[in-house]
Structure 1
Amino acid sequence: MNAWKKHGAALCYTLPAALIIVAFFITSIAYTLYVSFTDYDGLDSPHWVGFENYARLFQDMTYITSLKNTLIWVVATLVFPVGLGLLFSVMLQRIKGQRLFKNIFYLPYAMSLTVVGVIWVLLFSRTGINFVLTQVGLDKLALDWLNTPPYNTYAMIVASIWQGTGTNMLLFLIGLGSLPKEPFEAAAIDGAGRARTFWNITLPLLNPITIVVLGMSLVNSFKIFDIIWVMTMGGPYRSSETLAVTMYRESFVIFHFGQGAAISIVLTVISIAVSWFYLRQTIVKEA
């Protein structure tokens, strides 16, 4: 009763908005789940097809390729932007003019993924990277990057790494700046080298911020869409699609809403399962 008197007014203000969000969220999930079991095309009445849409996901090579590309994106996004962000943050701690370098590394993140995609389309054109390779005598390495599988996927991952590394670097810099000095002073007195200090002291103390960075990267890797659609539209021949791109194409390009809904449900389940496993493991380790 006392709690209601203390927080009742705040609850009255927030409850309507919360109810609206919950209602729309639950309704949309339920409707998407229903559509995933139909052959709905947006025009005719939906007909129940059971698990046919889900079965097709594991039989059609297009969808299997999409799933493989999604996994490649997840691994690459977790390893490279996070690893490079940590490396650059440690390096910047010992460099004068840190603010300038922070701005330079963070600038790509200030751009939308659409703008980043356009920039890297130009870089991977004949007048970009291929021109440089030709000029230095490495013309054999010049490729039609965005039209040659699987290099088109790797090329887009490079663009994504360029865009996302700066944010991870800033987060790690914040974490490094908040670390207590006592463990490092004790390590210096004991004669520990930089490498040993980093592995045994810095990394364990950075674990809370590392969990945040990895969690953000994990979520972003599953929903990647903009940069792929801008750079290749999932082509050629749908070879560079991820599940998010395939879901969009099925739903809003060829109007197979049932199939698109099934893909969205599978993507949601995978994202929740991976996130739950990751959080469970990190929480257990923290405990």
Structure 2
Amino acid sequence: MSSSVRQRRPPAATQPADPGSPPNAPAPGRRGVPQLRSKLAGAGFLAPAVLLVGALLLLPFAATVHRSFFDDRRVSGFAGLDNYTLFFSDPVLTRSIQNTLMWVAGTVVLPIVLGLAIAVLTHSGGWSRVARLVVVLPYALSGAAVAVVWNFILTTDGAANQLLTSWGLDSFAQGWLLEWPGNTLVMIIANTWQSAGVAVILFLVGLQTIPPETLEAASLDGAAGWRKFWYVVLPQLRTVSVIVVGTSLVGGLKSFDLIWVLTQGGPGRQSETLAVSMYQETFLALHPGAGAAVAVVLTAIVLVASWLYLRRQLTPKGT
């Protein structure tokens, strides 16, 4: 054999590639580096918001919870649960809870019913835009401005009594804001006049998102009028209804400005809600421990009620 012929050597043995790994995959030790960087970057973007929420919400709430366990003397001593037992022994706080429950019921039911009815009636028609403007306009006003308007109507010599007198209905004229529970009921109506606007807006958005094909199919199947609304339209407004009820629930629990301007919780603290009682106890009666306890209870009620409602409504069917 010629010396020019070179003997070929077998190629060096190589480890077979992992069939499950993609080509040019990074080494196992380096795979977690991009994920770690991504998590650190996300944490960096969230950190300012978390710190801001902690500084403005969580820390004051923790301080309020701490203050609720101390009495109201100049040199505060530990009082345990004494401030919380006032809800069972103080008739003012007992009436405040009753008024709060009335506000929750009224501010949830009335805006929902009226908002949905007005949205359906003004969804189409020549005067729909004007009607929407009339209903939605009060929502742009502040609670104090709404209270000033209704104070002009509901005082003893106000527009309501003057109108009844001019119609010969003097027997129906009364001090609308001077007796419980009538004063609470008329304030709930005043609040509904303002808050129904946002319900109308949200329900109109929900109605506009319903596919026309669904309504046409329902009409072809013979559904019309109330049956069409109940079985076709209303189920498709479920998500919007969750939002409206949730916002109305929270708004009813923390109602303050309208009540304070109209009655200041009177007469005799009979029309107070928990939000008004919190202000009265803390700043007027100079009972910061009792006021802190009211604030803690009110916050707990808002959180629990919102969580229970949203958990029930947003849970997928069948789970």
**Distance apart, 1:21 and its partner CA:** 2.2
Question: What is the SS of the residue equivalent to 2:315?
Answer: helix
**Distance apart, 1:25 and its partner CA:** 2.7
Contact 1:243–1:267 at 8 Å: present in 2 too? yes
**Which of 171, 181, 198 is the matching residue for 2:229?**
198
1:142 matches 2:173 = yes
Mapping 1:219-258, distance limit 5 Å: 219-258=250-289
User: What's 1:15 paired with?
Assistant: 47
Question: What is the SS of the residue equivalent to 1:263?
Answer: helix
Q: Read off the aligned partner of 1:58 and give its amino acid letter.
A: F
Farther off after superposition, 264-273 or 157-166: 264-273
User: What's 1:168 paired with?
Assistant: 199
The verdict on how the C-alpha distance between 1:190 and 1:20 changes in structure 2, with shifts beyond 3 A counting, is closer
**Distance apart, 1:236 and its partner CA:** 0.2
Aligned-partner Cα distance in 1 for 2:36–2:197 = 44
Structure 1 vs Structure 2 CA RMSD: 1.6
Aligned-partner Cα distance in 1 for 2:285–2:262 = 20
**Distance apart, 1:129 and its partner CA:** 0.4
Question: What is the SS of the residue equivalent to 1:147?
Answer: coil
User: What's 1:270 paired with?
Assistant: 301
The verdict on how the C-alpha distance between 1:173 and 1:51 changes in structure 2, with shifts beyond 3 A counting, is same
**Which of 86, 91, 94 is the matching residue for 1:61?**
91
User: What's 2:290 paired with?
Assistant: 259
**Distance apart, 1:95 and its partner CA:** 2.1
Larger RCO, structures 1/2 (Cα 8 Å, 6+ apart): 1
User: What's 1:47 paired with?
Assistant: 77
User: What's 2:210 paired with?
Assistant: 179
Contact 2:282–2:292 at 8 Å: present in 1 too? yes
Farther off after superposition, 102-111 or 195-204: 102-111
Q: Read off the aligned partner of 2:66 and give its amino acid letter.
A: Y
TM-score (normalizing by structure 2): 0.85
Aligned-partner Cα distance in 1 for 2:65–2:39 = 37
**Which of 77, 100, 110 is the matching residue for 2:107?**
77
User: What's 1:104 paired with?
Assistant: 134
Contact 1:113–1:226 at 8 Å: present in 2 too? yes
Q: Which runs of 5+ in 1 are unaligned?
A: none
Q: Read off the aligned partner of 2:54 and give its amino acid letter.
A: V
**Distance apart, 1:103 and its partner CA:** 1.6
Aligned-partner Cα distance in 1 for 2:163–2:107 = 27
Aligned-partner Cα distance in 2 for 1:233–1:157 = 15
1:151 matches 2:182 = yes
Paired-residue identity, %? 40
1:122 matches 2:152 = yes
Contact 2:122–2:129 at 8 Å: present in 1 too? no
Q: Read off the aligned partner of 2:287 and give its amino acid letter.
A: H
Question: What is the SS of the residue equivalent to 1:37?
Answer: coil
**Which deviations, in whole Å up to 9, do the C-alpha atoms of 1:202-255 show, x marking residues without a partner?**
110000000011011011111100000000000000000000000011001111
**Which of 111, 118, 123 is the matching residue for 1:93?**
123
**Distance apart, 1:10 and its partner CA:** 5.9
**Which of 36, 59, 81 is the matching residue for 2:68?**
36
Q: Which runs of 5+ in 2 are unaligned?
A: 1-32
The verdict on how the C-alpha distance between 1:285 and 1:8 changes in structure 2, with shifts beyond 3 A counting, is closer
User: What's 1:284 paired with?
Assistant: 315
User: What's 1:207 paired with?
Assistant: 238
Question: What is the SS of the residue equivalent to 2:177?
Answer: helix
**Distance apart, 1:280 and its partner CA:** 1.7
Residue-pair matches, total: 285
TM-score (normalizing by structure 1): 0.94
Farther off after superposition, 174-183 or 20-29: 20-29
Aligned-partner Cα distance in 2 for 1:67–1:223 = 12
Which of the pair is proportionally richer in helix? 1
Contact 1:35–1:46 at 8 Å: present in 2 too? no
**Which deviations, in whole Å up to 9, do the C-alpha atoms of 1:97-139 show, x marking residues without a partner?**
3222222111101100000001000011213100111111211
Question: What is the SS of the residue equivalent to 1:143?
Answer: coil
